[in-house]
Structure 1
Amino acid sequence: MQINNKKAQLYINSLLQHPLVRQLELVEDQGVKVSTHTYDVLKISEDEMKREFIGLDEYSKTIDVFAIIVGIIIHDISKGSIRINGEKLSHSQMMIKRPDYIIRETEKIMDDIEEETGLKIHDEIRKNVVHIVISHHGKWGKIKPSTKEANIVHKADVYSAKYHRINPIGADEILRHMAEGMQTDEICKKLDCTSGILKDRLKRAKVELGLKSTKQLVNYYGKNKRIPIGDDFFTKRIRETSRLINSVEKVGFRNLIKNSILIKYLDDDKIFE
């Protein structure tokens, strides 16, 4: 396959350097950086497309891969911008009550990138990006996804939110520090979490072991050095989220996006005027 995507790469690289995109690395949602979630949505979308077709060659001919990548990078931008702009509504509330805010912001970012790079994307692709962003909450937002691309991103966003938007701290980490003599406030500071999360994680471990008190839990950990962190579903969430965070921290959010296998399926002639 002949690759013709230098302009697309320039556009995406410029987008990844946009101040509002960089802001995503400074904003957390339930213990996970928004930038980490953004990469996760891209990876899940990529995996979904691989499953639907044996390869991505045919798939890329029938779907707007560029709009998917750009839409995913932008889709949670307001989680950072609403803080910068002092907005009172949350991202989720904006998606329901103020979709106009999301639309204007998405279009403004694309305007910024077009001005910086001199690359103008086709209007149809631009509209597709906006629709992906404004509809990614599905039934939990005001606008429902109505294109293949928007549905792919919506499903990926739902999966990521369900499995990977959780502070990946388990009772095993907490008990290790407790065994070292650390107090609750010290552990919270060490693990960068709230006392509520500590209580929740300890409670889940006690339920799994059928124990009633934290003292019993500490004694169990002292004898076994291993402990269940929750039921199968919760454990899956913790483990997958931990691996995701480690991957992003090791390689970098922007590098992971730029190295996505989807990049090679972009065709400048189909994207830009």
Structure 2
Amino acid sequence: MQIKNSNALKFIDILLDNEKVLDLESYDDQGVKVTTHTYDVLKISSDEIKRDYRDLFEGRERVDFFAVIVGVIIHDLSKGSIRKMGERFSHSQMMIKKPEYITKEADVLLEEIENQLGVRINDKTRKNIIHIVISHHGKWGKIQPNTKEAHIVHRADMYSAKYHRINPIGADKILELMTQGMNIEDIAKKLDCTTGIVKDRLKRAKHELRIKNTKQLLNHYKKTKRIPIGDDFFTKRVRETEKLIRAVNKKGFKNLVLENPLLDYLEDDRIFEEASES
């Protein structure tokens, strides 16, 4: 007896093992791996669906779960490919100036997985996936979300980017390197972050301690070894980001995606035009 979502699960499994998706593990934004952010977007999306409907059976009738899952997995695909290929535009610039690059990349990858599995995604679902990918930046991109699924992913992406993509480096680590005589540029290289992040963490610490300059902050650190990350809200977001990073590092991006409850509610008949017999 064939499981009703067997091809959908196989499709997602193959997609997660695709080279372009695996490449995302090697790239980060603000100290957070692209795959960690991707998992976070999927979790936030599924949590919103669970919150908005009585149960996931009802949610499945209103929302295309497969489009959401696949759309999320590949929504930041170009963050890897543009760096690997040496493109001059960043992912954000591509979303505004060359959305056709984003569309083609997603379309080619979907076709590649289809050919491997021997199935074809129906036109409605395929268009939904592509639209999620091309519109996930909302007003910060050229294409705006105009489907329920695209709006869900856009909101999840914005929340994750704002609150869970915070480099967990604190002023204490920076000041420790300063005591060794390192300057801001060298510290940024050592901690694998931008000089902007270094300056931001020092600024936040000075604000919380009501200290006027970095020299006074350094003296405070030498005496106490205790430096705040920032205000309570910022500290909470840093801790949430650290927890997210630990979870993905411990269980793995692919394993966490495959544990998402939305996968249990997929149905091949709703997704594919034709499925190969198992």
Q: Same fold judged by TM-score > 0.5?
A: yes
Residues in 2 aligned to 1:193 and 1:140: alpha-carbon distance in whole angstroms: 24
8 Å contact from structure 1 (residues 184, 195) kept in 2: no
CA contact (8 A) 1:131 1:145 kept: yes
After TM superposition, give the deviation of residue 171 of structure 1 in Å.
1.9
Answer yes or no: is 1:112 the counterpart of 2:120: no
Q: How does 1:84-99 map to 2 (within 5 A)?
A: 84-99=84-99
Q: 1:196 Cα shift?
A: 4.0
- Corresponding position: 1:65 with 2:65: yes
Q: Does the alignment pair 1:251 with 2:248?
A: no
Q: SS of the counterpart of 1:45?
A: helix
Shift in Å at residue 90 of structure 1?
A: 1.3
Deviates more, 1:200-209 or 1:165-174: 165-174
Work out whether residues 11 and 113 of structure 2, in 8 Å CA contact, stay in contact via their aligned partners in 1: yes
Matched AA of 1:161:
A
Q: Which residue number in structure 1 is paired with residue 76 of structure 2?
A: 76
Q: Which moved more, 1:131-140 or 1:24-33?
A: 24-33
Report the counterpart of residue 262 of structure 2 in structure 1.
262
In structure 1, what is the equivalent of residue 31 of structure 2? 31
Identify unmatched segments of 5+ residues in structure 1.
none
Question: CA separation in 1, counterparts of 2:76 and 2:256?
Answer: 17
Equivalenced residues, count: 269
Q: Percent identity at matched positions?
A: 62
The secondary structure found in structure 1 opposite 2:121 is coil
Which residue is equivalent to 1:21?
21
Label 1:264 to 1:234 Cα distance change in 2 as closer, same or farther (>3 A): same
Alignment root-mean-square deviation, CA? 2.0
Alignment of 1:35-46 (within 5 A): 35-46=35-46
Counterpart residue number, 2:155? 155
Q: Is the 8 A contact 2:30 2:193 kept in 1?
A: no
Alpha carbons of 1:226 and 1:54: their partners in 2 closer, same or farther (altered >3 Å)?
farther
Q: TM-score, normalised by structure 1?
A: 0.91
Kindly indicate whether residue 170 of structure 2 is the aligned counterpart of residue 170 of structure 1: yes
SS of the residue 1:201 aligns to: helix
Amino acid paired to 1:26: S
Measure the CA separation in 1 of the matches of 2:55 and 2:218. 50
Structure 2 runs not aligned, ≥5 long: 274-278
Q: CA deviation at 1:123?
A: 1.3
- Verify the 8 A CA contact 1:170 1:238 in the aligned structure 2: no
Query: Aligned residue for 1:202?
Result: 202
Report if the CA contact (8 A) 2:32-2:165 is conserved.
yes
Write the deviation string for residues 211-255 of structure 1: whole angstroms up to 9, x where unpaired.
Answer: 123343344445555432112332233122111111111111111
In the TM superposition, 1:184-203 aligns within 5 A as: 184=182, 188=188, 191-203=191-203
Query: Which residue matches 2:124?
Result: 124
Q: What are the equivalent positions in structure 2 for 1:44-55 lying under 5 Å apart?
A: 44-55=44-55
CA distance in 2, matches of 1:57, 1:226: 50
2:276 corresponds to: none
Q: Distance in 2 between matches of 1:200 and 1:129?
A: 37
Contact 2:79 2:90 in 1 (8 A): yes
